[in-house]
Structure 1
Amino acid sequence: MHTKITLLAGVAALTLTACSSMMMSTPDAPAAVTVPAGNKVVMKTVGIGELTYQCRAKANMAGAFEWVLAGPDAILYDSNKMAVGKYYGGPTWEANDGSKVTGKQLAVSPNPGSIPLQLVQANPSMGKGAMADITYIQRLNTVGGAAPASACGAGNVGAKQIVKYQADYVFYRASM
C-alpha cells in the first residue's frame, strides 16, 4: 500500500509540474512585443476593467484635439478566475500580496478595434511577492479599450469617457 501511495504522489507531482510548465509557456506574440531572450514567464493574468480617456488639445497642433488615455482601472484574474491583483495608473500592476511593479512602454503592436498589444520593461519592483523581480510585462489578446469614437473638440476639452476592455498580462523574470 505504501508503494502505491508513493507512486501516486510521484505521478501527481509530475502531473502538476507538467501542467505548471504548460501554463507558463511563452505565448505567441508579434515581434514588436516579444520579450527578449533570457526571460521566462512566471505569471499569466487576465485584466478586466476600464480605461478612462480625456479630451485634450493636441500638442503643437493649434485647433486640433484628441482623446488621450488618462488611466486604467482593472482587476487581474488568474486561470481559475480568482482575483490576484489590480492594474492602475502609473502604469502599476499590484498583486494581492502587496508587491507591485511599474514600467516603461517599449513597444506596441496594433490590434484594430482594440487597444494595441504592448511590451513594457519593468522598473525595480516594490515589496516581496508575486511582482518581485519582474523584468517585462506583455499585454496581449486585447478586446475593446480603443479611444472613444465620439467627437473631441474645443467644446468638450476636459471631458472624460470610460471604455471597457480586457487583456492578457504576461509577467516575466530573468531566467536563472
Structure 2
Amino acid sequence: MPRIGTAAAALLLLGTAGARAGETSLPDAILAPGETIVLTLHAEGAQIYECKAGSDGKLAWAFREPIASLMENGKTVGRHYAGPNWEHADGSAVTGKAIGNAPGATANDIPWLKLEVTAHRGTGILAPVSTVQRINTEGGKLDGACDKAGSFRSVPYDADYVFLRKG
C-alpha cells in the first residue's frame, strides 16, 4: 500500500474541504498561495542517473530523468517521465519547469519541488493545472563519483505529486 505522509494527508483533507494549498505547512519555497488542489497522486518509481564528466573533468552521477507510476487509491492512473511530464489515464498531461525546491527529509531523499506548468495536452483532469508540487519524497538521490562514463544507475523513490490550479 502506498505511503501517504502527514503533509499529503493534510493536503488531501484541505483539498476536499476546498481549502487552498497556500494554507498548508509546506516549506515557503514550494508554496502555491491562492491555488486550489485539483488532484494528489502518489508516485512509485526511479530517478535515473548517468555517469558523466563534470566541468572539472571528473566523473560523477548526473540526474537524467524520472520514471514512475502515478497511483490513486492503490490503482495506477498515470505515469511520470522525462520533461518532466505527468500523464493521466484520461489522456490529459502537463509538462513543468522547476521554480522552487526544499530539502527532502533525509540526505537520501530527492528535494521537494514546486514546478510551473509550461504545456498542457488533452482535456481531462490535468487540463486546468498550473502548478505541480512534489512532496513527501523518499529515496531517489545519488551523489558522488562513478567509474565509467555513459553508465546508468536507477535509484528507487516515491513521492506525492499535488496538482494545483489558479483561483
Work out whether the TM-score is over 0.5. Answer: yes
Indicate the residue corresponding to 1:93 in structure 2.
86
1:48 aligns with 2:41: no
Pairing partner for 2:34 from 25, 38, 52: 38
**Structure 2 stretches lacking a partner, 5+ long:** 1-12
Indicate the residue corresponding to 1:28 in structure 2.
25
Indicate the residue corresponding to 2:103 in structure 1.
110
Paired residues of 1:24 and 1:43 also in contact (CA < 8 A) = no
Paired residues of 1:148 and 1:161 also in contact (CA < 8 A) = no
- Number of residue-to-residue matches in the alignment: 151
Q: Which runs of 4+ in 1 moved over 4 A?
A: 22-25
Paired residues of 1:24 and 1:44 also in contact (CA < 8 A) = no
1:169 aligns with 2:161: yes
Q: CA deviation at 1:174?
A: 1.0
Pairing partner for 1:132 from 127, 133, 136: 127
Indicate the residue corresponding to 1:145 in structure 2.
140
TM-score (norm 2): 0.83
CA RMSD of aligned residues (A): 2.0
Give 1 or 2 for the bigger CA radius of gyration.
1
Letter of the structure 2 residue corresponding to residue 93 of structure 1: W
Q: CA deviation at 1:73?
A: 0.8
Q: CA deviation at 1:24?
A: 6.9
After superposition, the C-alpha distances for 1:28-71 in whole angstroms (9 at most, x for unaligned) are 31111111x2211110010001111001111x32x222211111
More helix by share: 1
Determine the C-alpha separation between the residues in 1 that align with 2:134 and 2:59: 27
After superposition, the C-alpha distances for 1:120-144 in whole angstroms (9 at most, x for unaligned) are 0001311100110210000000000
More strand by share: 2
TM-score (norm 1): 0.79
**Structure 1 stretches lacking a partner, 5+ long:** 1-17
Determine the C-alpha separation between the residues in 2 that align with 1:122 and 1:131: 10
